[in-house]
Chains A and B, each alone.
Chain A
Amino acid sequence: MADRAEQQITLPAKPPFWNDPKTRAIAFQVIALVLTVGFGLYIFDNTQTNLRRLGIASGFDFLGSPSGFDIIQTLIPYSASSSYGQVFWVALLNTLLVALLGVILATLLGFVIGVARLSKNWLIAKLALLYIEIFRNIPLLLQIFFWYFAVLRAMPAPRQSLSLGDAIFLNIRGLYLPAPEFKTGFGWVLAALAVALGLIFAIARWARRRQMATGQPFPMLATALALLLGLPLLAFVLAGAPLHWQLPELRGFNFQGGWVVIPEMASLLLALTVYTAAFIAEIVRAGIQAVSHGQTEASFSLGLNTGLTLRLIILPQALRVIIPPLTNQYLNLTKNSSLAAAIGYPDLVATFAGTTLNQTGQAIECIAITMAVYLSISLLISLLMNIYNRRMALVER
C-alpha cells in the first residue's frame, strides 16, 4: 500500500501513445471498419465472380416477366399470367394478413389469459397457468404441424361438411363463409358511418370539456355505441338494404362462392395465436403486478369504483410496462409467420423466397428482397416503439 501511495505522489510519465485510450479507441475503430468493409468487399467480389463464372442471370428484370403459376390465396387480382412483381405483392399481403389477424387474436386471448392468471378463482388461475406453461414451451413449428396435420385433417370431406344454417360450412378444404356483395346505395351506409364517427369525436370533446368544468360525467360509451350502430343501420334501412350475401354452395369438387378460410391459414393463425398468447399473457400479468397495490387502495379511497380504477389508474400504468415487450411479441409473430412455408400457406417466404426463387433461379435477389421486407417491418415497429417510449417515459422531477 505504501508503494502505491508514493507512486501516486510522483507525477506519472506521459503514457506511451499506444497506451493512450484515445489513440487506442481510434485504432480499434479503424481496424474494425477496415475489416468489416474488407470482408463485405470480399464477399461481394466472390459473389460477382461466381455469378459470372456460372453464367447465372442477375438483376431485378425478372420482376416484370410472367410468373406462370397460380396461388391458392390472393387478396389482389392475380393469375398465372401476372408478373413476378405481382407475386411479390400477393405474397406480402398474405404475410401481412396472417400477421395482422394473428396480432389481434393473440392480444385478445393473451389479455384474457393474463388476467385469468391473476384471478382470485383458484381453478381459473391454475388453468391459465397450465395453458401458459404448455404452449410457450413447445416449438411453434410443432404446433403448426399439430393443428394442420393432426387436427384440421380430421375435418370431414366437402360432401359431409359441417354446416351452420346452410350459410357457413366447415370441411377439410376450409371454412366457407357467406361473402357480402355491396349493391349501389351502400355508399350511404358508409357515409352514415363516417358521420357517426365525426359526431362521436365531437361529443367526446364536448363531454370532456364539460366534465372538466362542472364534474358532470357523460355516458360516452353508450352514446358512442348507439351512434356507431344506429346511424349506419338507419341508412341501411333507408337505402333499401343494399347488401346481398353470397352463400357458398357445393358445385363439383368444392364449394364455390363466398369467402373461404383455407386450412393452411387457419392452422397457421391458430398456432401463432395460441403460441404468442401464452407470452402475451405473461407480459400482461407482469404489467398488472408491476402496479403496486397501494395504487388500487388509494383509488378506492378516493371513491372510484373497480371499473374506473382499472381504467384510469391501473391500466395506464400497467400499459407503460406492457407495451414494449408486447411490440416485441408482435414482431416475433410477424417473423414467425414465415413458418407458413412448412404447410403450404402462400406467404412471402413460401411464395416469393421459395417458388419464385426456384422458377427464376435468382436466389440472391429473392432472398435479399424478402429479408429487406422483414427488416423494414421490424425497423418500422422499432421506430414507432421508440417514439411511444419517449412519449410515455415517466417525467421525473
Chain B
Amino acid sequence: MSATHVPHPDLPPPSSTIGALGWLRRNLFSSPLNVALTVLAVYLLAISLPPMLRWALFDATWSGDSREACTANSGACWIFIKVHFGQFMYGFYPEAQRWRVDAVVLLLIIGAAPLFISSVSNPLKVRLGLGLLLLYPLLAFMLLHGGLFGLTPVDTRQWGGLLLTLVIAGVGMTAALPLGVLLALGRRSKMPAIQTLCVTFIEFWRGVPLITVLFMSSVMLPLFLPTGMNFDKLLRALIGVTLFQAAYMAEVVRGGLQAIPKGQVEAAAALGLGYWKTMALIVLPQALKLVIPGIVNTFIALFKDTSLVLIIGLFDLMNIVHSATTNPAWLGFSTEGYVFAAAVYWLFCFSMSHYSQSLEKRLHTGHKR
C-alpha cells in the first residue's frame, strides 16, 4: 500500500493580514508610534479639512456677476474670478483680438501633440520638434504682436495675465537650455580664458537675486547704452530671466557632463570625431538624459520666477491677480485671487514635474536596479 502524500490545502491567510483590515494594520497601525501618528493626522485633517471644503465648495458663491451676490454666502466668492477671468488670462489684450492668443495656444497644442504620441516615428518627431523650436516662436510673435498681414498691432505693454506668464516662461525655457549647454561646455573647456569667462558668468548670475537683475534691466539699462538706444521692456525682462536661468541650467548640465566616463570621449576621438561632433553625438545625448530631472526642475523654477516681473511692473498673471484684489469694487477677495493664481501655477508646475518623471522612466535605458 503506497501512501500518497496529499498536501493539506492551504489555509487562508489570517483575516487580519489581508483585505482592508490587513491594509489598515500594515499601513496605519503597525506600531504604537504609528497609531499615535495616524490618530494625530486624522484629527488634524478632521479639524482643518471641513472648514476648507466648506469655504471653497459648499458655502461658496458660483453664480452671479456682482459683488452683492456674494454677501449671502459665507464661503469663497468665485464670481470675483469669473468677472476678472478674461483679464487674468489675456491682460489688457484688446478683446476683439483675443482670438489671436487662442490661435497661438491652439497651434502649439496641435503642433506639440504628436511629440507625446508614441506611435509617431522618431525622425518625424525630431523634424516636428525643430520646426516648433525655430518656426513656431516667429509665427507666435507675428500673431501676438501683429502689424503684418493686416493684423492690428498689439503693443507688448498690452500683453498680460497668463498669456504674458506663458510667453516669458516659453521664451525663457527655449533660450535658457541651449545657452546653459554652451556655458556648461565652456566651463568644462580646456581653454583657460574661455573657462574663466564661463565660470565668472555662471557664478555671477547664480550669486545675485533675480529682482536686482530685473530692476537693473528694467530701469537702469539705458544708462549703460549709448544715448537714445533702447529695447522693449518685455524683451529686457526676457533677457534677464533667460540669462539668470541659463546659469542654473549650466550647472545642471555640467553635472551630467561630469558623469560621462572619459572613455566615451576617448572612443569618439579614436573614431575621428571632432569636438563638436563628439559633444553633439556622444556626450550630450547621454549627459542630458542623465539630468532630465534637473533640467525640468530648472524649467519649473523659471516658470515660478516669471512671477517676479510683478516687481518691475509687467502685468503677468501674478500682478494682474494682485492688482485685481486692490480694485475698489472688489476689495476683500485676496484669498480667492491668490488661491486661483496658485492653482494655475500649480497645475503647470505639477504637470511639468509629472511629465519629467514619466520621461525619465521611459528614457532609462541603462541597467535597472
Known: A28-B191, A29-B191, A46-B226. A141 touches B208 (CB 8 A): no
Task: A326 to B310: give the CA distance in the assembly, Å.
Answer: 28
A98→B305 CA distance, assembly (Å)? 20
Instruction: Evaluate contact between A137 and B223: CB separation under 8 angstroms.
Output: no
Complex contacts, A124 vs chain B, CB 8 Å: 34, 37-38, 41
CA distance A353 to B212 in the complex (A): 8
Closest residue on chain B to residue A51 by CB atoms = B223
Does B207 reach chain A (CB closer than 8 Å)? yes
Most buried by B among A136, A138, A364: A138
Question: Which residues of A110-151 have CB atoms within 8 Å of chain B's CB atoms?
Answer: 119-124, 127, 133-134, 136-143, 145-146, 149-150
Residues B338 and A122 in contact, CB atoms below 8 Å apart = no
| In the assembled complex, B192 has its CB within 8 A of some CB on chain A | yes
Q: Could you tell me if B311 and A364 are in contact, using CB atoms closer than 8 angstroms?
A: no
A143 to B341, CA, bound (A): 10
A374 contacts B207, C-beta separation under 8 Å? yes
* Complex: chain A residue closest to B275, CB-CB: A21
Q: What is the 8 Å Cβ interface bit string for chain B, positions 52-96, against chain A (1 contact, 0 not)? A: 000000000000000000000000000000000000000000000
Query: By the criterion CB–CB under 8 Å, are A123 and B209 in contact?
Result: no
Q: Is the CB of B208 within 8 A of A137?
A: no
Q: Report B164 CB to chain A, min CB distance, Å.
A: 14
Whether A139 touches B30, Cβ cut-off 8 Å, given contacts A32-B194, A121-B38, A123-B38, is: no
Q: How many angstroms from the CA of A37 to the CA of B159 in the assembled complex?
A: 37
Decide yes or no whether B227 CB sits under 8 A from chain A. Answer: yes
Q: What are the residues of chain A within 8 A of B349 when measuring CB–CB?
A: 136-138
Inter-chain contact A119/B37, CB cutoff 8 Å: yes
Chain B contacts for A146, CB-based, 8 A: 335, 338, 342
Is A349 in contact with chain B by the CB < 8 A criterion?
Answer: yes
Q: How far is the CA of A367 from the CA of B215 in the complex (A)?
A: 9
> For the complex, is A36 an interface residue (Cβ under 8 Å from B)?
yes
Chain B nearest CB, measured from A16 CB (Å): 15
Closest to B35 in A: A121
Question: With A43-B224, A134-B346, A375-B204 as given contacts, are A121 and B34 in contact (CB-CB < 8 Å)?
Answer: yes
Contact (A138, B346) CB under 8 Å given A121-B28, A150-B335, A378-B206 = yes
**Pairwise interchain contact A36-B38, C-beta atoms closer than 8 A:** no
B226 CB → nearest A CB, Å: 6
Q: Is the beta-carbon distance between B325 and A364 smaller than 8 angstroms?
A: no
A336, B307: Cβ atoms under 8 Å?
no
For the complex, is B203 an interface residue (Cβ under 8 Å from A)? Answer: yes
Which partner residue on chain A sits nearest B30 by CB separation?
A: A120
User: Does A237 lie at the interface of the complex (its beta carbon under 8 Å from any beta carbon of B)?
Assistant: no
B341 touches A363 (CB 8 A): no
Within 8 Å of chain B (Cβ to Cβ): is A371?
A: yes
Report Cα–Cα, A150/B350, bound state, in Å: 24
A349: contacting residue among B190, B194, B211, CB under 8 A: B211
A198 to chain B, nearest CB (A): 37
Q: Which residues of B contact A123 (CB under 8 A)?
A: 27-28, 37-38, 41-42
A145-B338 contact, Cβ under 8 Å, with A32-B197, A123-B38: yes
In the assembled complex, the Cα of A136 lies from the Cα of B160 at a distance in Å of 24
Q: Is B145 an interface residue (CB 8 A)?
A: no
A382 to B307, CA, bound (A): 27
A330 to chain B, nearest CB (A): 13
CB of A127 within 8 A of CB of B212, answer no
Segment 316-335 of B: residues with Cβ below 8 Å from A: 318, 322, 325, 334-335
CB of B220 closer than 8 Å to a CB of A: yes
Given A137-B345, A137-B353, the answer on whether A374 and B212 have CB atoms closer than 8 Å is: yes
Per-position 1/0 for A170-211, Cβ under 8 A of B? 000000000000000000000000000000000000000000
A370: Cβ under 8 A from any B Cβ: yes
A81 CB within 8 Å of chain B: no
* Candidates B27, B212, B223, B318; contact of A121 at CB < 8 Å: B27
Q: Mostly helix, strand, loop or mixed at chain A's interface?
A: helix
* B236 close to chain A: CB less than 8 A: no
- How far in angstroms is the closest Cβ of chain B from A334? 9
Question: From residue B125, how far is it (CB to closest CB) to chain A in Å?
Answer: 28
A364–B37 CB distance below 8 A: no
> Whose C-beta in chain B lies nearest to the C-beta of A339?
B211
Indicate whether A142 sits within 8 Å of B28 (C-beta atoms), given known contacts A121-B34, A149-B334: no
- Judge whether B345 and A375 touch: CB under 8 Å: no
Contact with A along B181-220 (1 / 0, CB 8 A): 0000000001111100100000110111111100110011
CA distance in complex: A378, B251 (Å): 15
The contact of B307 among A122, A139, A150, by CB within 8 Å, is A139
A47 adjacent to chain B (CB < 8 Å)? yes
Q: Are B300 and A378 in contact (CB under 8 A)?
A: no
Complex: chain A residue closest to B34, CB-CB:
A121
Q: Could you tell me the distance in whole angstroms from the C-beta of A338 to the nearest C-beta in chain B? A: 4
Chain B 288-316 per-residue mask, 1 if CB under 8 angstroms from chain A, else 0? 00000000000010001111101100000
- Asked if A122 and B223 sit within 8 Å, CB to CB, the answer is no
B27 (CB) vs chain A CBs: closest residue = A122
1/0 per residue B1-40: CB within 8 Å of A? Answer: 0000000000000000000000000011010001001100
**Residue A53 is within 8 A (CB to CB) of chain B in the complex:** yes
Which chain A positions have C-beta within 8 A of B338? 142, 145-146, 149-150
Known A-B contacts A339-B211, A363-B220; the reply to A36 vs B197 at CB < 8 A is: yes
Chain A residues within 8 Å of B, Cβ to Cβ? 25, 28-30, 32-33, 36, 43, 46-47, 49-51, 53, 119-124, 127, 133-134, 136-143, 145-146, 149-150, 153, 331, 335-336, 338-339, 341-342, 349, 353, 363-364, 367, 370-371, 374-375, 377-379, 382
A-B contact pairs, 25 of them (CB 8 A): A33-B193, A46-B225, A51-B223, A121-B30, A121-B41, A122-B28, A123-B27, A123-B41, A124-B37, A137-B300, A137-B345, A137-B346, A137-B353, A138-B304, A141-B307, A141-B318, A143-B342, A338-B209, A349-B212, A353-B212, A371-B212, A375-B204, A375-B208, A379-B207, A382-B203
Residues of B with Cβ closer than 8 Å to A? 27-28, 30, 34, 37-38, 41-42, 190-194, 197, 203-204, 206-212, 215-216, 219-220, 222-227, 300, 304-308, 310-311, 318, 322, 325, 334-335, 338, 341-342, 345-346, 349-350, 353
